Amino acid sequence: MRRSIDVVQFDIADLPEGLDDATPATWTIAVSDDYDDAVARTVLTVEPLGKPGEGLVLHLAPDNARRLRKALADALREVGEKE
């Protein structure tokens, strides 16, 4: 089983002025259990925009997916945003 959860294209126009070295990218979250151990994992893919197959793919076990979720929530709180 492999199922896409969300796909987002990063828009360079969303960046603050003066940040010129950012790469426009896409990120995708999916779930998959297509592994020899049949454990379902969260799959995070980050690729440069328009360059499929040239990015990074993380296959996160549940504990690491929760850790990423917590880190994102902590970062949002740190900048004054609610989850």
Structure tokens at 63: 């504990």
User: Which is nearest to 4 in space by CA: 35, 37, 27?
Assistant: 27
Tens digit of each residue's pLDDT, the chain (83 residues): 788 888 888 777 777 787 777 778 889 999 998 888 888 899 999 998 888 899 999 999 999 999 999 999 999 999 999 86
- pLDDT for residue 79: 94
pTM of the model: 0.80
Q: List the one residue out of 35, 26, 51 whose CA is nearest residue 2.
A: 35
Contact 44, 58 (CB under 8 A): yes
pLDDT at position 19: 76
Burial class (CB in 10 A: 0-12, 13-18, 19+), 43: buried
> What is the per-residue pLDDT for 25?
85
Q: Which of 62, 53, 61, 44 is nearest to 8 (CA)?
A: 44
Q: What is the reported pLDDT for 83?
A: 65
